[in-house]
Amino acid sequence: MKTIIAAVVIFSSSFLNGNKSYGTININEKLQDIVVFEKGTLPIEKNSSEFVKISFKINEEGFVEILEMNYSDELIKTKLVEKLSKMKIEEEHDSEEIYNYNFTFKKL
């Protein structure tokens, strides 16, 4: 039987209100590319889940600047932060835009 770890992302930001302000980027696509974990890299028991709630913005240099975090597991939080620190936004963006994401990790 295969072991699968799924990350479910629930987000809220200015994308939800329909505004396409100057410099708005599709952060969801960027996250889907970067937040990928290989089998066995996260310490999750079968049929259980862990979460990381995070607020961040993309600074003027294009890197993630974490503002707040809440999480259920320290190691999973650390691995997620490692992935986010590798993300670099090259497109023009609003460095004051705050992104709020809830990541839920489940082992199926």
pLDDT by 10s per residue, the chain, length 108? 444 555 555 444 444 444 444 456 788 888 988 888 887 788 888 888 899 999 999 999 999 999 999 999 999 999 999 999 999 999 899 899 999 999 999 877
pTM: 0.72
Residue 97 Cα to chain centre, angstroms:
15
Residues 48 and 66: their CA atoms lie apart, in Å, by: 26
How many Å apart are CA 67 and CA 69, to the nearest integer? Answer: 7
